[in-house]
Structure formats: C-alpha cells, structure tokens
C-alpha cells in the first residue's frame, strides 16, 4: 500500500498546530527521546556523533537534527512534508545542515552514505517497516548504526480509540499488528516484537540493544492521555532499537 501521498498531506495540514503544541517540549533541550522527552544522556542510545555522517528519517522541525549538527555531526534531515521542512528551515541555528524532501521507503541517497541513520517517531513510524528498514540498511556504511524509537506494541494494543487514551485493557489483537489508520486517510505502522526482529535481521542488521524507555513517576506524556497516568512507568510505551550493519 502506498501511504506516501496521504501521509504527506496529513503532515502538511497539521504541521503548524503540531509544532505550536509540541515544539516547546521536544525542542526545549537537545536529544530528548519520545513522548516523555527522556534525555539521551539517560538512555545512551546515540552516543558521540562528532564527525559522523548522520541521516534523520522524518526530521520534522529538526529538533534532533539541529542539536546533532551543533555537536559537529554532518547531518541530513529528511522529511516527507514540505511544511515540516519549512519549520525545520525556520528553526535552523548557526550549525546549518541540508534538508531533503523524501520518503523513508524510497531514500534518495547512494549506498554506504551514512554512519548513523536514526529517528524518533519519524520515518520508521510512518513508512512500512519492511520497506524503510532495508532502505536505511542500504544507505549505512559497514559498522554504521540504525537507531530508532517507536511506540511499543503494548501501547498500541492497549489504546482505546473511542476514548482516545491508553488503558489497562487489551483493545485490539497483537498478532497482525501492521498498519494503523490515522486521520484523513493517513497511515502509521507498528509491528509485533517478532516482526521487528524479522525485518531488522532480514535487512542484514545486528540488534545490539532494545531499550525500553521508562519515564520517572509523574513525567507527563506530551502526546497521549493514559489511564492510569503512570501507565508508562509500569509498562513500556516505547521501543528504542539500537542496531548496526556488520
């Protein structure tokens, strides 16, 4: 299924409201992961990027990319939405980096171009993983790393669509998790743990770690309501995969 046109349309429509609501949190300080803005300094997922060639898949307004560029990485920010890229261009700091319009499932880069490909709820949440993961692996150099954060299957199967909140009740089947219908015909993606492992290994990647970010008690979720409020302190809301190309 080709979700590129509808996903591009959705993100162009919601970009301005999304940045108004979330940029104050996700852009507050560099390197914050996910819905709970957990610092990378606590999770140690990305490591030192100085001098590395880095691609962010679905960079949005570039909160991550501009931080890594300022640290001395050679960063490319890729996104499907021209409105999101315009927000990234507006927010670019002194450390400038190129922005590219493109889709994670059809990367417009030569093989072996990057030492690190990463995203935080970006292209690997919004492109079919069986297409986007092999593309990421293709553009990585040997030894290069693919690191990405997505919602966990727990979070997805406990999400009550009618109440718009995450619950303690299983709401949908776990087996068969794949595409998730979003507003206005857009699609996001989620896999079971087993399917993520198959897709990553099938693309020739080695899995080094699966970090399950755990917010401290009382940390607000900037995106979703959860019932109980400390849901993500008790169950994993996100999966942060750390992999490399051998």
Ligand X SMILES: C[S@@+](CC[C@H](N)C(=O)[O-])C[C@H]1O[C@@H](n2cnc3c(N)ncnc32)[C@H](O)[C@@H]1O
Q: Which of residues 128-187 bind ligand X (CB under 6 A)?
A: none
Q: Residues 152, 157, 161, 166: what is their CA dihedral angle, to the nearest 10 degrees? A: -60
126 binds ligand X (CB under 6 A): yes
Extended beta strands in 30-131, E state: 32-33, 38-39, 53-57, 74-79, 99-101, 114-120
Least Å distance, CB 213 to ligand X, is: 14
**Strands 238-244 and 140-151, sheet pairing:** antiparallel
Q: Which two tokens stand for residue 243?
A: 């992999």
**Whether the Cβ atoms of residue 89 and residue 81 lie closer than 8 Å to each other:** no
Q: Which is nearer to ligand X, 63 or 226 (CB)?
A: 63
- For residue 86, the number of C-alpha atoms closer than 13 Å in the C-beta half-sphere is 9
Q: Which is nearer to ligand X, 122 or 213 (CB)?
A: 122
Cis peptide before 228 (omega within 30 of 0): yes
3-class SS at 91?
helix
Least Å distance, CB 1 to ligand X, is: 12
26 binds ligand X (CB under 6 A): yes
Q: Which is nearer to ligand X, 149 or 226 (CB)?
A: 149
Give Cα separations from 187 to 4, 10, 119, 179, 184 (angstroms): 9, 10, 17, 6, 9
Least Å distance, CB 11 to ligand X, is: 3
7 binds ligand X (CB under 6 A): yes
Least Å distance, CB 62 to ligand X, is: 8
Given candidates 33, 97, 121, 241, which one binds ligand X under the rule CB under 6 A? Answer: 121
Scanning 56-64, 152-160, 224-232, 236-244 for contacts with ligand X by CB under 6 A, the matching segment is 56-64
40 binds ligand X (CB under 6 A): no
Alpha helices in the chain (DSSP H): 4-26, 40-43, 63-70, 82-91, 123-126, 129-139, 153-157, 193-202, 231-234
99 binds ligand X (CB under 6 A): no
Given candidates 43, 46, 55, 60, which one binds ligand X under the rule CB under 6 A? Answer: 60
Least Å distance, CB 170 to ligand X, is: 25
Least Å distance, CB 114 to ligand X, is: 15
Q: Which is nearer to ligand X, 237 or 246 (CB)?
A: 237
Least Å distance, CB 22 to ligand X, is: 6
Q: Residue 159's beta-bridge partner residues?
A: 166
The residue ranges that bind ligand X (CB under 6 A) are 4, 7, 11, 26, 57-58, 60, 64, 79-81, 84, 103-105, 120-123, 126-127
């Amino acid at each position: 299924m080709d979700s590129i046109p509808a996903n591009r349309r959705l993100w162009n429509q919601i970009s301005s409201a999304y940045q108004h609501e979330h940029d104050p949190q996700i852009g507050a300080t560099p390197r914050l992961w996910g819905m709970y803005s957990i610092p990378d300094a606590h999770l140690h997922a990305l490591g030192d990027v100085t001098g590395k060639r880095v691609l962010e898949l679905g960079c949005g307004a570039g909160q991550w990319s501009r931080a890594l560029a300022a640290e001395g990485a050679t960063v490319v920010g890729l996104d499907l939405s021209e409105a999101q890229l315009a927000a990234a261009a507006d927010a670019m700091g002194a450390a400038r980096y190129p922005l590219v319009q493109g889709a994670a499932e059809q990367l417009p880069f030569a093989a072996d171009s990057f030492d690190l490909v990463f995203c935080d709820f970006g292209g690997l949440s919004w492109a079919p993983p069986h297409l986007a993961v092999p593309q990421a692996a293709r553009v990585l150099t040997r030894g290069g790393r693919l690191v990405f954060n997505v919602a966990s299957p727990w979070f997805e199967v406990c999400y009550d669509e009618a109440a718009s909140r995450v619950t303690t009740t299983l709401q949908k089947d776990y087996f068969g998790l794949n595409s998730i219908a979003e507003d206005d015909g857009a699609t996001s993606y989620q896999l079971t743990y087993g399917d993520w492992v198959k897709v990553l290994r099938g693309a020739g990647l080695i899995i080094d770690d699966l970090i399950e970010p755990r917010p401290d008690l009382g940390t607000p979720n900037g995106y979703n309501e959860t019932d109980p409020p400390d849901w993500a302190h008790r169950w994993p809301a996100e999966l942060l995969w750390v992999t490399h190309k051998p």
